[in-house]
């Protein structure tokens, strides 16, 4: 008596929601040239990201001297300005980002008091 080989149909693997997209911070830093404040803002932002978002961030620096038309999209009124595009909601932080606690609260990495 021959038996047919049994093939079990396995259930499709359960797909976890992609945490990478929701956990990835997309940050835009608006500056105007290589001024001391602009350079300080970038250095401070990079340091904060490395310490608190290691591997989970993307920084885009937009120089408004080169591309002033990009200021309107995020309604930039002062520089330097950091805009957190993702995760939503969009957040803005103005200044050289030297106050680490303020930046972490602005990025929702620390609870507001």
Give the per-residue pLDDT at 7: 47
What pLDDT is stored for residue 111 in this prediction? Answer: 83
- At 90 the pLDDT is 95
Tell me the pTM: 0.78
In three-state secondary structure terms, 69 is: helix
Please say whether the beta carbons of 38 and 8 come within 8 A: no
CB 88 within 8 A of CB 49: no
pLDDT at 4: 52
CB–CB of 60/29 below 8 Å?
yes
Domain map of the chain by residue range?
Answer: 22-106
Q: How high is the pLDDT of residue 112?
A: 77
Mean pLDDT, each 10-residue run in order, the chain (113 residues): 50 37 86 96 97 95 95 93 96 96 94 77
Closest CA to 30 of 102, 86, 94, 89: 94
pLDDT of residue 3: 53
**Region 22-106: CATH code:** 3.40.30.10
């Amino acid at each position: 008596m021959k038996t047919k080989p049994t093939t079990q149909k396995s259930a499709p693997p359960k797909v976890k929601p992609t945490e990478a997209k929701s956990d990835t911070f997309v940050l835009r830093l608006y500056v105007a040239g290589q001024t001391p404040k602009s350079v300080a803002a970038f250095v401070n932002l990079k340091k904060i990201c490395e310490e608190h978002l290691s591997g989970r961030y993307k920084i885009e620096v937009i120089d408004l001297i080169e591309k002033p038309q990009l200021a309107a999209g995020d309604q930039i009124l002062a520089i330097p300005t950091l805009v957190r595009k993702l995760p939503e909601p969009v957040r803005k932080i103005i200044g050289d980002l030297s106050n680490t606690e303020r930046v972490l609260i602005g990025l929702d990495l620390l609870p507001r008091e």
